Amino acid sequence: MVRGSTRRRFLVTVGAGTVPLAGCFTQQRDDGQDVSGTVTFDGTTDPRETDRNAVEKRAIEASDPPENGAVVFVYDDGPMTDYTQAFPAHQSYDAPATVGIVSEWVGRKNFMDRDWMGVTHLTDLVDAGWEIASHTAEHTTVGTYELVEDAAPNDERVYPTGVRHGFWTPKDVELTDGDKTVRANAVGRGTDDTGRYVELADPVGDSFAAGEAVIRYPADVMKDALLGSKQRLEALGFDVETFLAPYDDFDAWSQRFVDDYYIGVANGDHGSRINDPDEFSPYRTRRAYFIEFTEPKFVQRDLDAIAERGALGVFGAHTHKDSVTEDRIRTTLEWIEQRDIEVVTLRDAIDIYVGDGD
């Protein structure tokens, strides 16, 4: 049945100290490879393990998990196509969804060749049972990237595994190997004979070895991206309790900050659409796309598994992509209805699958 859940209220604290570890709930990726256990990340700490205590969370609601499982739809970024394509499809089935909103993009026109939902559009979604999640202030990566080339004191270019810290510039970054940390100003990105690089305004000023150091945003930049986005969206009148990580980048560094502001992450463990209902961790939510990078047969395979196991599916999409059409969304909702699977928001999924176990 495609509907929201009816729940009862009780108090529960969700934080780094209480979130269970991901279990061995083996799933297959769309390329046929198994995906199970936890994913390792480059960085200076154990992936998503933190000694920080999360802030006390709100009183959340709980109910028995749906017998045939549940699916959360999470749409990225907040383009107008969420409103013109996804929203009508979901209305046809009285099904909610979660939208990850970049707070600085709300209401912008012809920005990056498209228009973005404004307050009126977001209000319509919320009134229909949708959830607003934070997607940072500027679509800022919150993860870390390991250096693949040594960095010398005079270098103004660093070569990490990903150059997303050079996307939204100028912005301060850190280089760290766990023993020493240097703050620098990132001013761009590019590719040269060595590889892809992040451009710095000034020389690094110290030496960092490839494979031993990472680039990341410092704490104050992370706070603005995460807390600043939440506060800006809440100032517009929306209740924001969950987070969607840009670029599907989420690791131990990310969680140190996300723990303080949000009750869960839509894509903390990207790569599979299915979450074990008995081991669900809201900071390690498994999500994968249901139209992009996949085929209908794999989506139907996962829906069969969700219904059979009473599992939680988390399905992502970018509606501004040509392949993500209203018809494709509507067809997926039809498959869900045929299997008597519930559609809920991420907030509701946390209420159900975390709350039920406490």
**DSSP characters for 192-221?**
-SS-EEEEESS---S-B-TTT-EEE--HHH
Residues 6 or more apart in contact with residue 131 via CB below 8 angstroms: 96, 97, 98, 99, 242, 345, 346, 347, 348
For 222, the token pair is 């992370």
How many whole angstroms separate alpha carbon 69 and alpha carbon 335? 13
Report how far residue 88's alpha carbon sits from residue 107's, in angstroms, rounded to the nearest whole number: 20
Strands 196-200 and 274-275: unpaired
Rounded to an integer, what distance in angstroms lies between the CA atom of residue 52 and that of residue 16? Answer: 7
- Domain coordinates in residue numbering, the chain: 8-139+221-357, 145-216
Max Cα distance, the chain (Å): 62
- The residue written with tokens 């061995």 in the block is 24
Residue 63, pLDDT above cutoff 70: no
What is the rounded CA–CA span in Å between residue 226 and residue 230?
6
Q: Which CATH architecture has domain 8-139+221-357?
A: Alpha-Beta Barrel (3.20)
Q: pLDDT band for position 357 (50/70/90)?
A: very low
Q: Is the predicted pLDDT of residue 238 greater than 90, yes or no?
A: yes
| CA-only gyration radius of the chain, Å | 20
**How far is residue 345's CA from residue 73's CA, in Å, rounded to a whole number?**
7
**10 Å Cβ neighbour count for 158?**
27
CA distance 202 to 170: 12
**What's the CA gap between 117 and 9, in Å, rounded?**
32
Q: Report residue 2 as tokens.
A: 């495609």
Higher pLDDT, 28 or 289: 289
- Omega into 170 within 30° of 0, i.e. cis? yes
pLDDT tens across 315-334, in order?
Answer: 999 999 999 999 999 999 99
Q: What is the pLDDT of residue 169?
A: 87
Give me the chain's average pLDDT, please: 85
Query: How confident is the model at residue 27, as a pLDDT?
Result: 38
What residues have CB less than 8 Å from 50, skipping those under 6 apart? 16, 252, 255, 256, 259
* pLDDT-based confidence at residue 355 (cuts at 50, 70, 90): low
247: helix, coil or strand?
helix
Q: What is the pLDDT of residues 290-315, one digit of tens each?
A: 999 999 999 999 999 999 999 999 99
pLDDT of 245 over the 90 cut: yes
pLDDT value, residue 11: 22
Q: What's the confidence (pLDDT) of residue 168? A: 85
Separation CA 352–CA 65 (nearest Å): 6
Q: Rounded CA gap, 5 and 344, in Å?
A: 7
The rounded percent of the chain whose pLDDT value lies above 70 is 81
- Cβ-contact 52, 258 below 8 angstroms: no
Instruction: Dump the DSSP string for 86-116.
Output: IHHHHHHTT---EEEE-GGGTT-SSBTTB-B
Q: Please identify which residue in the block is written with the tokens 């303080």.
A: 260
pLDDT for 41 beyond 90: no
